[in-house]
Amino acid sequence: MAQALRQGVLPAAASRYRRVLTWASAVSFVSILVIFWVWFPKDESRLLGVLLLLPVLLPYAFIPLRVYRQRLRSGLILAMVMGCAVFVPGICLIWFAFRWDRGWWLLCSLILMTILQPVLVVTALACYLPMFRQQPFRLKLLAAPLYGLLLIIVFSQHYSPVPSYISENESSAMYYLSAAVYAADNDAFDTLHRGLYAEGLARFGPDSNPTCRVVVIPGELPIGYLVDYRGTEPAVTVEGCTRFKGFTITARPAEFGKTGILSFFVDESRRIHFTSENRPARANDPEGSPFSMYPKWHRP
């Protein structure tokens, strides 16, 4: 067997390696297609989605092709690379599906795909080790590991542990708070208001003269969030309106875990704070910004 492996040929005695690699690759290929079909948005182009998925799909087609065409060493390395590169994303996607989408087709496909990745790695490694001892290492063999590393980096940059609509709701809440702070500052430092903040925002606060409240532009409230504005003492009366030395604005999900997870807090310091706990955010919570990605791992 060692002599055959030195030549990059899979002997009949070790044909079980080829069969295992072929079946594991084929089932992984089909499982990924099922996951894509279930999860891909219905209103988007599936053809475009398949094209974007090709960098993950094609290597599973190349593995058996290379093994059967006697490009054994290249096929084994690709099998190990894909098994390592897809295993951790598979675990993350299983957790996501179990938390947000418990369709049995989806979960079964994800679990099957993830289980098969260590099978690919172990099988390929068992066949590759005798070759590694007999053949010198060639620099071009680094191409497959670098490709696997690229797949992991792309996944880590685009993966979110919550559905996109929740992230969009959270982002809209942060943008609204930023706009509200900007409006409150502009109103307070108007020459007539002497650096004092209004008693409320439009649509919030006491039912008083509308001129005593600040209009936020854009005026649409964040979807799925409840916003609360409060002036902080001391308070004075200016031109018939109660004005405050400071303010706080909080935004909480209307239904925690369904319309949003993060709660937000901002005051006259203009720093937005957030928490993923089911409570109002406070000034001592971590800071965030609508112009930068808040930590994706800051989740319950």
Say what the pLDDT of residue 6 is: 47
Q: Phi, psi at residue 252, to the nearest 5°?
A: -125, 150
Q: Phi, psi at residue 203, to the nearest 5°?
A: 80, -5
Domain residue spans of the chain: 2-158, 164-288
CA atoms within 13 A on the CB side of 299: 14
Cis omega before residue 234 (within 30°)? Answer: yes
Judge whether residue 253 has pLDDT over 60: yes
Rg (CA), the chain: 28
Say what the pLDDT of residue 141 is: 64
Residue 168 in contact with residue 224, Cβ under 8 Å? no
Say what the pLDDT of residue 199 is: 81
Rounded-to-integer distance, Cα 161 and Cα 151, Å? 18
Say what the pLDDT of residue 40 is: 82
Residue 211 in contact with residue 241, Cβ under 8 Å? yes
Judge whether residue 35 has pLDDT over 70: yes
- What are the tokens at 298? 């800051």
Residue among 277, 279, 252 at smallest CA distance from 264? 252
- What are the tokens at 164? 């996109």
Cα dihedral 285, 290, 295, 300 in deg (nearest 10): 60
pLDDT tens digits, one per residue of 165-210: 888 898 888 888 888 888 888 888 876 777 888 887 776 555 556 6
With b meaning 16 or more CB within 10 Å and e meaning fewer, what string describes 132-160? eeeeeeeeeeeebeeebeebeeebeeeee
Q: Is the pTM of this model over 0.75?
A: no
What's the mean pLDDT in 86-100? Answer: 91
Contacts of 196 (CB under 8 A, 6+ apart): 188, 236, 238, 243, 244, 245
Judge whether residue 105 has pLDDT over 50: yes
Q: How confident is the model at residue 239 (pLDDT cuts 50, 70, 90)?
A: confident
CA-angle at 52, arms to 290 and 58, nearest 5°: 140
Say what the pLDDT of residue 295 is: 45
Judge whether residue 225 has pLDDT over 50: yes
pLDDT tens digits, one per residue of 110-136: 999 999 999 999 999 888 877 665 555
Cβ atoms within 10 A of the Cβ of 191, count?
A: 6
CA atoms within 13 A on the CB side of 22: 12
Q: Phi, psi at residue 124, to the nearest 5°?
A: -65, -40
Judge whether residue 9 has pLDDT over 50: no
